[in-house]
Amino acid sequence: MSSFLAGLLFGVGLIVSGMANPAKVLGFLDLAGHWDPSLAFVMIGAIALASIGFFASRHTGKPLLDDTRHLPTKKKIDVQLIVGSAIFGAGWGIAGFCPGPVMVAVGAGKTEAVVFLSAMLAGMLAFNLFDARRTIRGNADAR
- How confident is the model over 8-66, as pLDDT tens digits? 898 898 889 888 888 888 899 888 988 999 999 999 999 999 899 888 877 887 777 78
The model's pTM: 0.72
How many residues would you count in the chain?
143
Q: What span, in angstroms and rounded, lies between the C-alpha atoms of 113 and 119?
A: 10
Range of the domain at 20: 2-142
Looking at the structure of the chain, the number of domains it has is 1
User: In the structure, what pLDDT confidence band is assigned to residue 72 with cuts at 50, 70 and 90?
Assistant: confident
Q: Residue 55 is which amino acid?
A: F
Q: What span, in angstroms and rounded, lies between the C-alpha atoms of 24 and 96?
A: 8
